[in-house]
């Protein structure tokens, strides 16, 4: 009985202990299961956060890429606008001699077609070989070419370019291409030539005017004494001598008068004048000119001296008539006018014997003449008058085979 009494509490305690242990095990299992669920949820949260961060970074990179592409496109567009807007010509040639870029100003200055693009520089610039030679020289050397003047022949008159060629190099210093920039200096060169000519004419006038005046005084005295002699009262041989003295002194007096007119400073009376009326009057005032001259074209109004301009065109017409007479050719003269931009061009063509290259080079020099009886002052006076009016006169062979003289004068600006 006592044993049963003692065993009962022992069994109870054992049962309670086992129950407690079972409860602990269950609690631990539940806690473990809850921990695994929380860990799984945490892992899923971390993955979501990482994915969102990656998406945000990719979006930022794409935005930056779009911004960089837009800036690159804007820079390229701006560079293209700058190149296209340059008033100077630009040609980029790579190290193999291929033209890579040519702006519109270059095509305009060089007279190239709008379709002229890339290709070998010798082919693209075949109409302007002097410029192609300068670019070829730059490709062969490492030194830049700075402010070189290049003269281009063709188009009826030479044109002048101011050329600068620089190199484009890589990071290692190797030459990749050359950039040729050039500007049309034709107007500047012509202005410099006119200024030099005006200075030379002024110095010549100062040096020779006094001497020519003394010659004229002496000739006037000789001619006056010759006029006092009566040929009828002289023997036949002496009569011939007196007539010869009179004729020669008269001719020499005209030469000296023309030279003084050429050498001395002219007193200009500048006013707006109708160039058509001036040329027409020169044609009709010169004996024999109106019947053999064809007058055509467009003329304009210029600022000038009516008398001096009429004298200049009269000398040109007289020169053509005398050239045809010397060549034993029935004269046919064409006077044409053309207005281009701010200038008027007056061209005088004849069917005479024409001009040799040697004659053209010295045609406007005083006393230079191809005529047996010429004084060589008529064309020199023409040049002086035209240059004094800020114009240019040039001579060349006419397409008809004779001579061509072209006068260019600035049009009077409209106020």
Q: Clarify whether residues 147 and 257 are in a common domain.
A: no
Higher pLDDT, 144 or 232: 144
pLDDT at 2: 41
Angle at 239 between CA 233 and CA 245, to 5 degrees: 125
Q: What is the residue whose two structure tokens read 């004084």?
A: 375
Radius of gyration in angstroms for the set of CA atoms belonging to the chain, rounded to a whole number: 48
Q: What is the pLDDT of residue 3?
A: 43
In the chain, the number of structural domains is 3
pLDDT score of 277: 94
Mean pLDDT of 56-80: 76
Task: Report if residue 63 sits inside a domain.
Answer: no
Query: 68 lies in a domain?
Result: no
What is the rounded average pLDDT of the residues 85-94?
83
pLDDT value at 280 more than 90: yes
Residue 64 domain-assigned (yes or no): no
Q: Are residue 277 and residue 399 in the same domain, yes or no?
A: yes
Domain shared by 319 and 405, yes or no = yes
Residues 6+ apart with CB under 8 A from 242: 226, 229, 231, 234
Query: What tens digit of pLDDT does each residue of 98-123 get?
Result: 998 888 888 888 888 766 667 888 88
Question: Could you list the residue range(s) of the whole structural domain that residue 175 is in?
Answer: 85-184
In whole angstroms, how far apart are CA 41 and each of 35, 45, 51?
10, 6, 15
Tell whether 288 and 373 lie within a shared domain.
yes
> Is 121 part of a structural domain of the chain?
yes
Out of 32-36, 207-211, 273-277, 280-284, pick the least confident: 32-36
Q: Taking residues 269-280, report their average pLDDT.
A: 90
Q: Which of 148, 167, 184 is the last residue of a domain?
A: 184
Same domain, 172 and 194: no
- 227 and 315 in a single domain? The answer is no
Is pLDDT of 289 > 70? yes
What are phi and psi for residue 44, nearest 5 degrees? -65, -35
Instruction: Please indicate, yes or no, if residue 18 is contained in any of the structural domains.
Output: no
152-205 pLDDT tens trace: 776 545 588 889 999 988 888 888 899 999 988 887 887 777 777 767 666 666
Q: What is the pLDDT of residue 38?
A: 55
pLDDT > 90: percent of the chain: 15
Q: Does residue 278 sit in the same domain as residue 389?
A: yes
Flag whether 23 is in a domain: no
The predicted structure's pLDDT at residue 27: 59
pLDDT given at position 372: 54
Of 207, 238, 265, which one is at a domain's C-terminal end?
Answer: 265
Q: Which of the four pLDDT bands, split at 50, 70 and 90, describes residue 34?
A: low
What pLDDT, on the 0 to 100 scale, is given for residue 204?
Answer: 67
Confidence tier at 1 by pLDDT (50, 70, 90): very low
CATH code where residue 393 lies: 3.30.565.10
Residue 49 lies in a domain: no
Check whether residue 354 and residue 288 sit in a common domain.
yes
What's the confidence (pLDDT) of residue 408?
92
Whether the CB-CB separation of 275 and 312 falls below 8 Å is answered with no
Which of 184, 217, 241 represents a domain boundary (last residue)? Answer: 184
Average predicted confidence (pLDDT) for the chain: 79
Same domain, 290 and 249: no
CA atoms within 13 A on the CB side of 113: 7
For residue 87, pLDDT over 80 is answered with no
Q: Is residue 253 classed exposed, middle or buried when 0-12, 13-18 and 19+ CB atoms within 10 A define those classes?
A: middle
pLDDT at 229: 79
Q: Is 171 in the same domain as 150?
A: yes
**Domain co-membership, 100 together with 216:** no
Element (H, E) at 28: helix 2-85
17 domain residue, yes or no: no
Q: What is the pLDDT of residues 311-335, one digit of tens each?
A: 899 999 998 898 888 777 888 899 9
Same domain for 95 and 204: no
The CATH number assigned to the domain holding 128 equals 3.30.450.20
Structure tokens of 12? 């109870």
């Amino acid at each position: 009985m006592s044993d049963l009494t003692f065993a009962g509490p022992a069994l109870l305690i054992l049962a309670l202990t086992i129950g407690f242990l079972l409860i602990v095990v269950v609690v631990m299992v539940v806690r473990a299961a809850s921990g695994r669920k929380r860990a799984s949820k945490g892992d899923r949260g971390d993955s979501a956060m990482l994915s969102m961060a990656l998406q945000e970074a990719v979006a930022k990179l794409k935005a930056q890429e779009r911004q960089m592409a837009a800036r690159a496109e804007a820079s390229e567009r701006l560079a293209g606008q700058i190149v296209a807007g340059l008033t100077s010509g630009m040609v980029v040639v790579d190290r193999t001699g291929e033209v890579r870029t040519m702006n519109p100003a270059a095509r305009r200055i060089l007279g190239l077609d709008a379709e002229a693009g890339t290709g070998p520089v010798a082919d693209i610039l075949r109409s302007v070989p002097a410029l192609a030679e300068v670019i070829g020289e730059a490709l062969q050397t490492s030194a830049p070419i700075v402010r070189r003047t290049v003269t281009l022949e063709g188009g009826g008159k030479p044109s002048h370019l101011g050329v600068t060629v620089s190199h484009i190099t890589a990071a290692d210093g190797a030459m990749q291409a050359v950039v040729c920039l050039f500007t049309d200096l034709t107007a500047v060169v012509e202005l410099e030539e006119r200024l030099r000519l005006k200075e030379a004419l002024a110095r010549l006038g100062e040096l020779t005017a006094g001497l020519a005046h003394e010659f004229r005084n002496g000739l006037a005295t000789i001619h006056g004494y010759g006029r006092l002699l009566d040929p009828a009262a002289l023997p036949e041989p002496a009569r011939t001598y007196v007539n010869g003295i009179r004729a020669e002194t008269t001719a020499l007096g005209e030469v000296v008068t023309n030279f003084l007119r050429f050498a001395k400073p002219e007193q200009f009376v500048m006013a707006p004048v109708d160039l058509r009326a001036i040329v027409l009057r020169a044609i009709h005032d010169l004996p024999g000119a109106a019947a053999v001259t064809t007058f055509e074209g467009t003329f304009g109004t210029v600022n000038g001296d009516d008398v001096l301009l009429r004298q200049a065109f009269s000398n040109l017409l007289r020169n053509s008539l005398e050239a045809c007479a010397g060549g034993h050719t029935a004269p046919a003269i064409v006077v044409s006018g053309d207005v281009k931009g701010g200038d008027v061009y007056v061209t005088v063509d004849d069917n005479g014997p024409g001009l040799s290259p040697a004659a053209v080079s010295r045609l406007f020099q005083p006393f230079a003449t191809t005529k047996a009886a010429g004084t060589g002052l008529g064309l020199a006076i023409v040049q002086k008058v035209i240059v004094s009016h800020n114009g240019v006169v040039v001579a060349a062979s006419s397409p008809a085979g004779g001579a061509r003289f072209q006068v260019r004068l600035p049009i009077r600006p409209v106020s």
